[in-house]
A and B are shown apart, each in its own frame.
Chain A
Amino acid sequence: MRRWDRRGVGGFTEELPALLVVLVAISLFIASAAQAYASYGSRQAAVRDRERVESFAGQLCSDGEMEWQGRLAVFDAASLSDANASAAFQSRYNASRMGFEYAVTISDLSGNGSWVFSSGSGYVAGAKVRISRACNLAEPDGFVRPALLTIEAWGVGR
């Protein structure tokens, strides 16, 4: 039986290319759909992780042990310099209770050093979430200096 003549092509000779074109089209669509789904999932996870770290920053800015005269985002320089400040910080913000590891740095932008509070184990692996917030450091006499609160967190999404 002839599969082609001057009027056209028929049967298997025509259907195989058509099938190939359809397969290519379906493959392209499935690949795009899979990529979009993966992007959506990773974005949702990134937003969730970031929200948790931002919530942590909010807790720090209103931490009664560190803030100066109850003022939001104004840290008491004397409290931060206390010998027990690091241990007390770790106890209040225990990594296992928080659900992630962290390194918190409060930098005095006047060039008078910085204070680092970490969850203890240090960075090992995994994606880091980093956020920073402008804040202040206050001396006991009420002198207020500019400062930067930086939080690096990892293992957030586990």
Chain B
Amino acid sequence: MMDRRGQGALFDATAFLVIMLVASSSLYAYSGMLARETSSSNAADEMAYAQAMLGALTRTTVTNASYILGGASVRVADAPAGELLTEELAMMMAGASANFSGCNDKISEIADALADGRAWSLECAYDNATLGGARLRMGSEPGAQRFSASAETQMAGGFAGRAHIVLHVWRL
């Protein structure tokens, strides 16, 4: 072309290049996103792990656990961790000012072993419309991107209803 518009074809080609660059960038970002999703630990796998870990933790027998009540150490009979947690909640509901760190340390040791390198946080809660509620927590402060599993179990100590146990796990 030889007219006053000058270099029209080159301008069109440059506009085409810009459009193609935008399209290519989108495709490149998409393939990068797919690669991240393919990484060995995807969200579904971590959710499944959290669920399996919560089940395994609550079933595991805790041995040689004790708590301190009124300055005296009280030995707890060997029992599944899930039962110990509800018994702790029941004692809290009954107003016993006991120090459960001995029991909780034992449960934490089991959770550390089951976590397979992950960080974890365990929360147990019981709520009663008339008597109020009790809560206990152990483990690390939950991470921003965490995967959670929950379970309900029969409350101990003759309290009606069920206790709620939630486990969070996340990669460090």
Interface residues of A (CB under 8 A from B): 5, 7-11, 14-15, 17-19, 21-22, 24-26, 28-29, 31-33, 35-36, 38-40, 42-43, 46-47, 50, 54, 71-74, 109-110, 130-136, 142-148
Contacts and interface: CB of A to CB of B under 8 A. Distances in A.
Nearest to A22: B13
Can you list the 5 inter-chain pairs with the closest CB atoms, starting with the nearest?
Answer: A8-B6, A10-B2, A25-B20, A39-B31, A32-B24
Contact of A130 (B17, B40, B53, B56): B40
Interface residues of B, number: 49
A132 B49 contact: yes
A19 B115 CA distance: 59
B3 A7 contact: yes
Contacts of A39: 30-32, 34-35, 38
Contacts of B10: 14, 17-18, 21
B2 A11 contact: yes
Interface string B1-33: 111111101101110110111011101101110
Contact of A109 (B4, B6, B30, B113): B113
Interface of B: 1-7, 9-10, 12-14, 16-17, 19-21, 23-25, 27-28, 30-32, 34-35, 37-38, 40, 42, 45, 48-49, 52-53, 55-57, 59-61, 78, 80, 110, 113-116
A86 to B, nearest CB: 24
Given A14-B7, A135-B56, A43 B13 contact: no
Contact of B21 (A28, A130, A133, A145): A28
A124 B113 CA distance: 31
Given A36-B27, A36-B30, A42-B38, A146 B113 contact: yes
Nearest to A9: B7
A42 B35 CA distance: 9
Contacts of B114: 109, 134, 146, 148
A41 to B, nearest CB: 10
A134 B3 contact: no
8 contacts: A8-B2, A14-B7, A15-B9, A17-B13, A21-B17, A35-B27, A35-B31, A144-B59
A14 B12 CA distance: 12
Given A17-B10, A50-B45, A144 B23 contact: no
A105 B140 CA distance: 28
Contacts of B17: 21-22, 24-25
